[in-house]
Amino acid sequence: MKSLKWARAIAYGVVALLAVAALYFTSPLPPAANRPAGEVLSVARVTDTWREHRDTVRRGESLMGVLARAGVSEVVAREAIRTAKMLDMRRIPAGMQILFRSNVTDTVPSEIVLGLAVDRLLHIRRVDSTWVAEEERLPWKTDTVVVSASIRTTLYDAIDSATMDVLPFSARRQLTWKLADIYEYRVDMSRDLQVGDAFRVLVVRDVGPNNAVRMGNIVAASMRLSGKTTEAVRFRSAKVGGDFFDQNGKSMRAGFLRNPVQFRRISSRFGMRRHPILGVMRQHQGTDFAADAGTPIRAVGDGVVLRAGWNGGYGNLVEIRHPNGIVTRYGHMRHIASGVYPGARVTIEQTIGEVGMTGLATAPHLHFEVLVRGVQANPRVALGTGASAPLPESERLAFAAVRTQMLALLESPALFASVDSATVTQAGRTQ
């Protein structure tokens, strides 16, 4: 029995000695700053050491209110915020995300992280008895996307069906508007598209944190309308205005815009209709563009203002004389822009007023008319007569090289095409 006790004592002693040796010869865990890249502490250890709390600024709530809800006293909150010189307390948007990080043994946060934007974080850290603020920029990755679709209903629906899985809603809308802007001198996307028409677009895409997406410039596009294809390539000319040129080297800009409002929703077309107020059938000599009150109205071409003021059923009216005997009228305006008066010169795309419902109007919209030599004409026909300026011979060779390269990428069978930075720069990419 005595020998058994001695054996147990010796065994316990050996185990103890081995444990001491293991502790002595094992290297200590390196501090976080010196730890090799990719090595992380386990969630359990992080949880045992740090406590994190996330919150969001509610509608109508101040930043101080969010900090108070997280248990931060007003004195501490003001001390922390005072160090953040880049933070405008008057512009704290609803939905801003805030992260509070603190040691489990401390009631005051060690760090407050504000999500200023999808790619901007503001770190407010407590160092001893003071606070230090530092802004962090998160990286974006740039690639290019080739989008191809056919028209079945609208341009919006076509882009949605082609990019639903790769682009969020906001990015799809940006792409739709960018494509419409390129062709706005030649195509009315609201009325000219038909079932079976098709388009293909090569566009720069930026992918940011949390898979945020923003659309850059379109580099090249092609659109087939009623069997006729019009290509558009981004090119910088020193002689001719416009950012895009067609396959023949002519500017995509023309003498007239097809629409006086950039974001349009047409409520009636040229032709006979029942007058919404008078209740009788009468010739509707123009086009109504239904849009929110205050939507900017653009001059569809260069010209001289003939009228600018109240005009009976038209309400606030602006009338502009253009070259070649064309006059355009813009009625029911809520407001006429300053500088727009009889005799004043206006330029194409210049804002001349805002959509309203003055005169004989039941809802906010723009009534738009085109007169050719004093006679009302169909705007779709009359505004299609403006010529596009061609590139000079001195720029033709350079354009041909860019066009060949961009259209080759545009025809890539893959959804994601590769464009190097030099090519994108040559194509004129901007943010």
Query: pLDDT tier at 263 (50, 70, 90 boundaries)?
Result: low
Tell me what pLDDT residue 278 has: 43
Does residue 324 surpass a pLDDT of 90?
no
| CATH code that applies to domain 141-254+390-426 | 3.10.450.350
Q: Which of 258 and 357 is assigned the larger pLDDT?
A: 357
Task: Give yes or no for residue 236 having a pLDDT over 80.
Answer: yes
**Which runs of consecutive H residues, i.e. helices, occur in 26-91?**
43-49, 63-69, 74-82
The CATH fold of domain 47-137: Nuclear Transport Factor 2; Chain: A, (3.10.450)
Evaluate if residue 190 carries a pLDDT over 80. Answer: no
Query: Does residue 254 have a pLDDT over 50?
Result: yes
| Model pLDDT, residue 418 | 43
Q: Provide the 8-state DSSP code for 251.
A: B
The residue ranking higher by pLDDT, 211 or 10, is: 211
Instruction: Supply 47's token pair.
Output: 């949880």
The distance of Cα 422 from the centroid of its chain, to the nearest Å, equals 23
As a whole number of angstroms, the distance between CA 176 and CA 172 comes to: 6
Map residue 64 onto helix, strand or coil: helix
Residue 350: pLDDT above 70?
Answer: yes
Q: Which residue has the higher pLDDT, 329 or 186?
A: 329
Q: What is the pLDDT of residue 376?
A: 87
What is the model's pLDDT at position 47? 52
Q: Hey, where are the domains in the chain?
A: 47-137, 141-254+390-426, 265-385
pLDDT at 6 over 80: no
Instruction: Say what the pLDDT of residue 292 is.
Output: 86
- Please write the tens of the pLDDT for every residue from 70-92: 888 888 889 888 888 888 888 88
pLDDT of 96 strictly over 60: yes
Q: Are 201 and 221 in contact (CB under 8 A)?
A: yes
Residue 327 and residue 288 in contact, taking contact as beta carbons nearer than 8 Å: no
Judge whether residue 174 has pLDDT over 70: yes
Q: In this predicted model, what pLDDT tens digit does every residue of 363-417 receive, in sequence order?
A: 898 999 999 988 888 887 888 766 788 999 999 999 999 999 999 999 876 554 4
Is the pLDDT at 17 greater than 60? The verdict is no
Compare 401 and 210 and report the one with higher pLDDT: 401
Ranking 62-71, 123-132, 182-191, 354-363 by mean pLDDT, the lowest is: 182-191
The pTM score is 0.69
Question: 265-385 belongs to which CATH class?
Answer: mainly beta
- Angstrom distance (rounded) from CA 46 to CA 65: 28
- The per-residue pLDDT for 25 is 36
Average pLDDT, the chain: 80
Is the fold of 47-137 the same as that of 141-254+390-426? yes
**Can you say how many angstroms the Cα of residue 423 is from the centroid of all Cα atoms in its chain?**
22
pLDDT at residue 277, as a whole number? 43
Q: What are the angstrom distances between the C-alpha of 247 and each of 193, 235, 251?
A: 20, 12, 10
Closest to 53 (Cα-Cα) out of 107, 1, 133, 126: 107
**What distances in angstroms separate CA 92 from CA 56, 64, 99, 212, 287, one per listed residue?**
11, 10, 15, 20, 42
What pLDDT shows up at residue 335?
A: 95
Question: Of 161, 171, 179, which Cα lies nearest the Cα of 205?
Answer: 171
The alpha carbon of residue 327 and the mean position of all alpha carbons in its chain are separated, in whole angstroms, by 35
Helix (H) or strand (E) segment spanning residue 147:
strand 141-150
pLDDT tens-place string over residues 151-165: 998 888 999 999 988
Q: How far is CA 14 from the centre of its chain?
A: 70
